[in-house]
Structure 1
Amino acid sequence: MSTIPDAPIDWHARARSIKFPHLAFIDGAAVAARSGETFASVNPATGDVLAEVASCDAADVDAAVAAARRAFPGWSATSAFDRGRILCRLADLIERDVEELALLESLDSGKPVADALGGDVPGTAAVFRYYGEAIDKIPGELPPTADGSIALVTREPLGVVGAVVPWNFPLDIAGWKVAPALAAGNTVVLKPAEETPFTALKLAELACEAGLPDGVLNVVPGLGHTAGQALGRHPDVDCVAFTGSTEVGKMFLSYSGESNMKQIWLECGGKSPNVVFADADLDAAAQKAAFGIFANQGEICSANSRLLVQRSVLDEFLELLCSAAADYAPGDPLDPGSGAGALVSDKHMTRVLEYIDIARKEGRIFLGGNRIGDVGCFVEPTVVVDTGRDARVVREEIFGPVLVVLAFDTEEEAIEIANDTEFGLAASVWTTDINRALRMSKSLRAGTVSINTVDALSPGTPFGGFGASGFGSDLSLRALDKFTGSKTTWISVSGTAS
């Protein structure tokens, strides 16, 4: 199904009339926070308040978890075929409402509406359809046993899953957690980032329309230290799947130990290397290098934020890179021609600009480095050179349109620099030598290594990392491992044949 409109859309006109979902969604109904408290959701491109959103706290999380617990026996007993049918219907509804969802995502997060329309929203539909179509085709196991015995190994849903998702891809990553959890027979309490609650709340409405029973999917917008912490500490939550910063991921590990030892699955930060050898297609590599750090305003956990270039082609490559970066000049997110949008908030923009100031002290700004205008959270694509390997901008995740460039001479040096990080989420390698590509892939400590492209993924391939990037896989059938436990049923066969 095509998600690209046949005629140009006046997105500003649409924005003036759109209705923002602003209430929590608990047990099949949109409800205010029990405290009556709200928080403002702000358009980072303009500074305008879009809506006052229900600010859930521990009482609301209690209600949502209780609803999910009540719904669990019925949902887990629903056949895999019927669960999958509902998820596929939800995928259809996401595609039907692609324009509304894209607009909500753009207004809330600051990203270009064209990116949400062409990538984020259809990508979410694809994930729900993938798990909807797959779940009734996954067999159990029949391991070999001694004569007179049979062992059956089945996957069993864990129970109530808490999903805590970030603001950079609010709908997409919600799908990464919610779709496999629901497909496996769990019920879910979803906590969206406070910066970007709208599409999660709209997703709950669509799930209800698709036929998901009340209480199976609940959404509790709220602040991290209230709703997020309450979900992490809740004694009746069996598992939490989290995407966000490494710092907050560690908090969820603590919450688990301080409560019921619930399973915690983390996808956290990254400082991904993009390694360009002299024999690469430099034009293609430069185009993708720009995309890998400046797309989505650099607000991507797996962004290729460290560029390693073989010294013999460094100057040439920097020229090509700066030319390619022009395609990501920030502009009005509702203008389909804008290559990038606004950073998600004033607070985050301030953080990114502080790192750029640090870069001026640790190295040299080769391109960009400035805020654009006085209204909105717009920052130029920025390239930093001449730093040491221990510079903060080399080692710390900035989560913005800031690229640090390092030179190397040999393959061994490239591997050493690339792996010199606490993170291990993704990496890219550019070379025409297939033997080198395979050597590099084996040597790089990263969950995904993209060869002659950047940040490659699909619903059918696992996404996850090592070290401070977390553990466990999103996407692919492996994601089901996070939301199921293995049960062995051992049968002793007595008697003899007559």
Structure 2
Amino acid sequence: MSQTTFIPLETLFPVNASQIPAEFQIEPVHQREYLLNGEMRPWQGKLSDVYSPICMPDADGKLQRQLVGSFPVCGPEQAMEALDAAVAAYDNGRGEWPQMSVAGRIACMETFVGKMLDQRKLVISLIMWEIGKNLADATKEFDRTVKYIYDTIDTLKNMDRNSSRFRIEEGVIGQIRRSPLGVVLAMGPFNYPLNETYTTLIPTILMGNTILFKTPKHGSLLHYPLLEAFRTSFPKGVINSLYGRGADVVPPVMQSGKVNVLTLIGSSRVADELQRHHPKLNRLRSIMSLDAKNAAIILPDADLDVAVKECLLGALSFNGQRCTAIKIIWAHRSVVDAFLNRFCPEVSKLKPGMPWVDGAQITPLPEPGKTKYLADIIADAEAGGATIQNEGGGDTVASLFRPAVMYPVQEGMRLYREEQFGPVIPVVAYDDEEEFIQYLITDDHGMQASIFGTDTDAIARLIDPLVTLVSRVNINAQCQRGPDTFPFTGRKDSAEGTLSVEDALRSFSIRSAVATKDTPANKHILNEIVSQHKSEFLSTNFIF
């Protein structure tokens, strides 16, 4: 195998600000206010500095993370104020927002999108600087989020149209619509801090709920430019921002018992802890996307060109920091060498660089301790007999880490079971498909799996057991969330509830019915209420 010439990682960081293109330079954003009860509340308390994974050398030549800005570190007192504001705005379902018509809520959301678009350039820049996402992916994240909002609006219109009629069955007249659930605590992730946060935030709002929005540890600042858009687009108390350490601000909110819905995109460990704080679990609905150890299986007859391309994208898009990333590859022993011989050079070809560099595919990792963690799990696999298969794999300088392909990985190594959430790819050799099925059976996770092959009999044999073990089976394709109209969920510790455009609207609401016996007197009552628009719920209005 020919040697690949690598550019030294340390030379990829800018020496000073003048080496950063002017359009990607950023002035530190120092947030000194937060959204509470319809006001931008000034903050003079403790602050948290935000350091970018993008590094520059200090006076001694040592690479240092660069200051991007700072944001408030609120405490339990502010958290409870935010909760009280959300509770008051909901007012047991009698508040202005839950009582507003669907058309009225949609109009507010459309106003918000217009104001959100005004902040597009700054938000994209903050995504790049805060979490190291490359320009193309940061841009895609913003634009996809806007599209998601419009798709959700269109779906809600269709749902409302379908429920705008009365049903008569077994002598009963009724109208069935969807009603809000109450106060929602929404917590988003760092890896898709805008998109995945908004895939819960937007349907929650549109269905008439009120929100406490806890920003992620990494990726908090990018939400600041959008707070004013929220403030001026929705009634007071509908959206309330929650800043600070999760361990300080979330427990008292949950312990109050006033949170009706917990939505979290994060770890199952955190989810378990948060749910335990709630005193009335039967009243708490949880909608969560959690851990995943998505596995790909390469069958003996697989088209290796397809398998290599899809596994490369699936395992290493945004440095593998996706819940839907392929996190372990099972290759049949008869093709594992051929697969690695094609796959490893492609991994080594991935271009590392700063987020603004055209074509940069491997970018700085946002979590300060991530490179050490990745080195530790590589060392653990090496102690068990696995080796790095690709040239340059595991090379590290500051926050940059070259992807590493590890083989042969087996039971007992951390990489076999642990979700690495980063650019290390374990490869397992198998002899019988049953080994792969048993792995999924015994795994704590159950989000997705990918099958690579051409033999329809073999693929079919895997599909039937796999759909009972994971929520989505991909054939000759990487694991992924999209399209947003497809259900996004998981089994076991990977998810609770279902997120997609329509599923999310249903998850953050409940079916409610108004019914009466089919008599002339009752028909007269219903006709008068509907014809004179005396009720928002009982209505035959048709939203175009």
Matched, 1:477 2:495: no
Please report how far the alpha carbon of residue 286 of structure 1 lies from its aligned counterpart in structure 2 after TM superposition: 0.7
Counterpart contact for 1:88–1:133, Cα < 8 Å: no
Partners of 1:94 and 1:452 in 2: CA distance: 37
Q: Counterpart of 2:101?
A: 79
Alignment correspondent of 1:4: none
Match of 2:209 in 1: 186
Q: Cα gap change, 1:155/1:311 in structure 2, threshold over 3 Å: closer, same or farther?
A: same
| Counterpart for residue 16 of structure 1 | 26
Q: Does the CA contact (< 8 Å) of 2:262 and 2:284 recur in 1?
A: yes
- Counterpart of 1:493, as a letter, is D
Structural RMSD (CA) = 2.5
Task: Report the equivalent of 1:39.
Answer: 48
TM-score if structure 2 supplies the norm length?
A: 0.82
3-state SS in 2 of match to 1:429: strand
Residues 144 and 254 of structure 1, relative CA distance in 2, 3 Å threshold: farther
Letter of the aligned partner of 2:72 in structure 1?
A: A
Deviations 1:407-455, CA, capped at 9 Å, x for gaps: 2234333333344311001111112234543442332111222222112
Distance, in Å, in 1 between the alignment partners of 2:451 and 2:148 is: 27
Q: Distance in 2 between matches of 1:234 and 1:284?
A: 52
Q: Is the 8 A contact 1:90 1:128 kept in 2?
A: no
Which position in structure 1 is the counterpart of 2:513?
488
Three-state SS of the structure 2 residue aligned to 1:305 is: strand
Which one is further off, 311-320 or 412-421?
A: 412-421
User: Offset at 1:233?
Assistant: 3.0
Distance 1:491 1:450, change over 3 A: same
Partner of 1:309: 331
Q: How does 1:80-479 map to 2 (within 5 A)?
A: 80-117=102-139, 119-138=140-159, 139-140=162-163, 145-147=169-171, 149-209=172-232, 211-257=233-279, 261-362=283-384, 363-367=386-390, 368-373=392-397, 375=398, 377-444=399-466, 445-456=469-480, 457-479=482-504
**Which amino acid in structure 1 is aligned with residue 81 of structure 2?**
A
- SS of 1:473 mapped into structure 2: coil
Distance between the aligned counterparts of 1:203 and 1:17, measured in 2? 17
Separation in structure 2 between the aligned mates of residue 219 and residue 170 of structure 1, nearest angstrom: 14
Counterpart-to-counterpart distance in 1, 2:464 and 2:276: 33
Which residue is 1:51 aligned to?
69
Q: Distance in 1 between matches of 2:349 and 2:117?
A: 28
Alignment size in residue pairs: 483
Q: 1:70 aligns with which of 63, 84, 88?
A: 88
322 and 470 in structure 1: CA distance in 2 versus 1, 3 angstrom threshold? same
Q: Deviations over 1:354-412 (max 9, x none)?
A: 22221221222223553422x3x121101111222342211011111111101223433
Deviation of 1:144 after TM superposition, in Å, equals 6.7
Q: 1:419 to 1:21 in 2, by over 3 A?
A: farther
Question: Hey, what's the Cα distance between the residues in 1 that align with 2:470 and 2:67?
Answer: 39
* CA distance in 2 between partners of 1:144 and 1:320 (Å): 63
Distance in 1 separating the partners of 2:229 and 2:455 = 48
CA distance in 2 between counterparts of 1:20 and 1:281 reads: 51
Q: Is the 8 A contact 2:181 2:261 kept in 1?
A: yes
Query: Using the alignment, how far apart are the partners of 1:451 and 1:142 within structure 2?
Result: 43
- 2-side partners of 1:115 and 1:198: how far apart? 18
Structure 2, unmatched stretches of 5+, are 1-18, 56-64, 524-544
**1: distance between equivalents of 2:314 and 2:441?**
18
Determine which structure has more spread, i.e. the larger CA radius of gyration: 2
Q: Give TM-score, length-normalised by structure 1.
A: 0.90
Report the secondary structure of 2:510's partner residue.
strand
Q: 2:39 aligns to what?
A: 29
In 2, Cα distance between the equivalents of 1:225 and 1:162?
14
Aligned residue identity for 1:217? I
Contact preservation (8 Å) 1:42, 1:195: no
State the alpha-carbon separation in 2 of the partners of residues 131 and 277 from structure 1.
38
CA distance in 2, matches of 1:237, 1:327: 48
Counterpart of 2:527 in structure 1 is: none
Q: 1:20 to 1:37 in 2, by over 3 A?
A: closer
Kept after mapping to 1: 8 A contact 2:257/2:280: no
Deviation at 1:268, TM superposition (A): 0.8
SS in 2 for 1:48: strand
CA contact (8 A) 1:22 1:51 kept: no
Shift of 1:32: 4.1
CA distance in 2, matches of 1:412, 1:259: 38
Structure 2 counterpart SS, 1:30:
strand
CA contact (8 A) 1:112 1:339 kept: yes
Which runs of 5 or more residues in structure 1 are unaligned?
Answer: 1-8
The residue aligned with 1:5 is none
Q: Is the 8 A contact 1:288 1:454 kept in 2?
A: yes
Q: Using the alignment, how far apart are the partners of 1:202 and 1:482 within structure 2?
A: 28
1:45-65 CA-to-partner distances (Å, cap 9, x unmatched) read: 221222121012222222222
- 4+ runs deviating over 6 angstroms: 141-144
- Give the superposition deviation at 1:495: 6.5
Q: Distance in 2 between matches of 1:194 and 1:415?
A: 36
Write out per-residue CA displacement over residues 308-338 of structure 1, whole angstroms, 9 at most, x where no aligned residue.
1122211111122112213534321232331
Structure 1 pair 449/169, CA: closer, same or farther in 2 (3 Å)?
A: same
Equivalent residue letter for 1:298: G
Deviations 1:228-248 (A, max 9, x none): 334433432211100101111
Residues 406 and 195 (structure 1), Cα distance of their counterparts in 2 relative to 1, 3 Å cut:
same
2:112 and 2:230 in contact (8 A); partners too: yes
Residue 169 of structure 1 and its aligned partner are, at CA, apart by 0.8
Question: Would you say the 8 A contact 2:134–2:354 is kept in 1?
Answer: yes
| Structure 1 residue 258: Cα displacement | 6.5
- CA gap of 1:227–1:328, structure 2 versus 1, over 3 A, is farther
The residue type paired with residue 342 of structure 2 is: L
Q: What is the rounded CA distance, in whole Å, between the counterparts of 2:488 and 2:32 in structure 1? A: 31
Separation (CA, whole Å) in 2 of partners of 1:327 and 1:20: 38
Task: Compute the displacement of 1:27 (Å).
Answer: 2.4
Corresponding residue SS for 1:241: strand
CA change 1:53–1:137 in 2 (3 A) is same
**Shift in alpha-carbon separation, 1:51–1:197, aligned structure 2, 3 A:** same
